[in-house]
Amino acid sequence: MQGSSFRRSSVAGLPAGSGSALPALLLVGLFFIVPVVALLLRSVTDPEPGLQNYAALFGSDTYVRVFLNTFLVATVVTAVTILVAFPVAWMLAIMPPAPGSIVFGIIILSMWTNLLTRTYAWMVLLQRTGVINRALMGLGIIHEPLPLINNLAGVTIGMVYIMLPFMILPLVGTLRAIDPMTLRAAALCGASPFEAFRRILLPLSLPGIAAGGLMVFVMSLGYFVTPALLGGTSNMMLAEMIAQTVQSLLNWGLGSAAAFVLLVVTMALYAIQLHLVGARRAGGGL
Amino acid sequence: MLLDYDRLGWLRVALVGFTAAVAAFLLLPVVFIVLLSFGSSRWLAFPPPGWTLKWYQQLLADPTWIDAALTSARIAAMAAILAVVIGLFASFSLVRGEFRGRQVLRGLLLMPMVLPVVVFAIAIYAFFLRIGLAGTTVGFVIAHTILALPFAIIPITAALEGFDKSIEDAAIVCGASPLQARLRITLPSIRIGIFSAAIFSFLASWDEVVVAIFMASPTLQTLPVKIWGSLRADLSPVVAAASSLLVGLTLCLMIVTALLRRKMSR
């Protein structure tokens, strides 16, 4: 803390009260902004100046397929997460505190458990001879093991599992803020439960759904660990491709160009989310 | 009546059932991994043919696992301390500063949380290669402090916004120096925020995989890098034992957090 009051700016020439943000600004400027900008410059200078990296990126079927697959996975994951999270958030918003706190505890436990641990558990659960296939076959529902890993199904299950807390927790806040009287009024006016849901509850919770959904979508777009472990080679996602291009192929120019595309899409969607929820509440589940 | 728990009727049965199923889904992998770590099957058969502690013995007898855990703890502790201290200073400015561009500054400092980690990972890796920090503890700590900073700033600014500044001013009127007022009035009042910031920043570094994969060297590996390597090689049950210990740690952290919050908010 600056020793003096904030109104008297103690560091010469700085706007009032900004001085104590200097260490953070220096750290983020030097070790975040500079490296990221340098990386983006590399996409137009490595191996030689020009746009050849972007031409290679958008001209190749392989890379275009990676882009499309990334959007497909993020869309499916977001849709499933919203559908699963909404009823849970709804219940948590109105449940008595005792059973509610058990569910909250489980959500926090799953969210705080090491990411690799959770993904490892799904790798074992979903494998060909895993518990899920064995249980389904034991129940006579299927006769052949289902391919649940190294494909879209595996990525979706693993990602929805990780994203659910990020959708449920903010949605509970949105739903709690809705006045129950509006729904009582709807019922008094003769609205059926379905009608009340469609015309009142859903529209009133839409801002929360949109904000949470956008956050899940953005997080899914750039996710690395879970798709790399639960997905297959035929449906690789962008983050894994970037890492591989740089780490195994040592093609920094192409990797940087792909990183730039990911950055632009993410930041554009982040700006929309900020607009939806206001800068104050950005960052969601904390 | 959709928001009256007692008047939902048949819908309540369906929704409670669904919520219970989702809770079970969220709990399943965590419980499963703990059970698996005590199973005797090398091939992770479940239910296991017998129960054993041998995976834990193998884990604890392997110095590379112990080293990785200690490295992770060291880096996470340093990153958390730095993130909380720097984040605390920044939060005062973000909440109380009177200058244009405050929201822009906030957006900038929170950006490391939004940008896909893989982009930051290759950017900082390239940068550290050039200045000779790749594969060093210092490099690790710097990169993880950047990633942890938003997790420190969010709870601290939230706590600071909820604190009535006139109490601090009253202390100054009564003769305390501004620094004394901050240290003895303001900091104790926002301690829950600072405490949450410490936990979240520690976890942000402790669990971080992507930057760590790039930053690690054969002699400097964090626990997630070690687990990542094992997962790519085979699904050895030793990983299940390591994972179960991590689940235990998470549970301890949750219990400590709940107890401290209860005690502090009294």
Which domains does chain A possess?
A: 54-277 (1.10.3720.10)
Q: Do B117 and B22 reside in the same domain of the chain?
A: no
Q: Is residue B119 assigned to a domain?
A: yes
Instruction: Examine residue B49 and state whether it is found in any structural domain, yes or no.
Output: no
Q: Are residues B13 and B81 in the same domain?
A: no
Q: Is the pTM of this model over 0.80?
A: yes
Same domain (yes/no): B117, B153: yes
- Checking A57-64 for CB contacts under 8 A at 24+ apart, the result is A57/A254, A57/A257, A57/A258, A57/A261, A63/A241, A63/A258
User: Cβ separation of B182 and A1 shorter than 8 Å?
Assistant: yes
The answer to whether the CB atoms of A6 and B98 lie below 8 A apart is: yes
Asked if residue B227 and residue B184 are part of one domain, the reply reads yes
Run means of pLDDT, 10 residues per run, chain B, 266 residues: 82 93 96 92 83 94 94 97 97 89 89 94 95 94 97 94 90 89 90 92 94 92 93 86 93 88 76
B45 is a domain residue: no
Tell me the shortest Cα–Cα distance from A278 to chain B, in angstroms: 10
Within a domain: B50: no
Q: Say if residue B9 is in the same domain as residue B95.
A: no
Q: For residue A221, what is the nearest residue in chain B, using CA coordinates?
A: B116
Check whether residue B90 and residue B182 sit in a common domain.
Answer: yes
What ipTM was predicted for this assembly? 0.89
B73 and B29 share one domain? no
**Residue B142 sits in the same domain as residue B260:** yes
SS3 category, A285: coil
- What confidence score (pLDDT) does residue A1 get? 40
pLDDT surpasses 90 at A104: yes
Interchain CB distance below 8 Å, B96 and A6: yes
Does B86 lie in the same domain as B9?
no
pLDDT of B8: 82
**Which residues in chain A have their CB less than 8 angstroms from residue B11's CB?**
193
User: Are B102 and B138 in a shared domain?
Assistant: yes
**Residue contact A118–B29, C-beta within 8 A:** yes
Average pLDDT taken over every residue of chain A: 88
- The boundaries of the domain holding residue B256 are 55-264
Task: Write the pLDDT tens digit of every residue in B111-125.
Answer: 999 899 999 999 999
User: How many domains are contained in chain B?
Assistant: 2
> How far is the alpha carbon of B234 from chain A, nearest alpha carbon, in Å?
11
Q: Are residues B16 and B88 in the same domain?
A: no
Look at B98 and A34 and tell me if their CB atoms are within 8 Å: no
Distance from CA of A140 to the nearest CA of B (A): 18
**Residue among A23, A87, A114 minimizing CB distance to B246:** A114
CATH number, domain of B113, equals: 1.10.3720.10
> What is the band of A268 on the pLDDT scale with cuts at 50, 70, 90?
very high
Kindly determine whether residue B126 and residue A108, on different chains, have CB atoms separated by under 8 Å: no
User: B108 and B28 in one domain?
Assistant: no
User: Which residue among B98, B110, B158 sits closest to A16, beta carbon to beta carbon?
Assistant: B98
Annotate B169-238 with DSSP letters as a single string: HHHHHTT--HHHHIIIIIHHHTHHHHHHHHHHHHHHHHT--HHHHHH-BTTB--HHHHHHHHHHH---HH
Of A8-12, A95-99, A157-161, B243-247, give the lowest mean pLDDT range: A8-12
Q: What percent of chain A has pLDDT over 70?
A: 91
pLDDT, residue A13, reads: 57
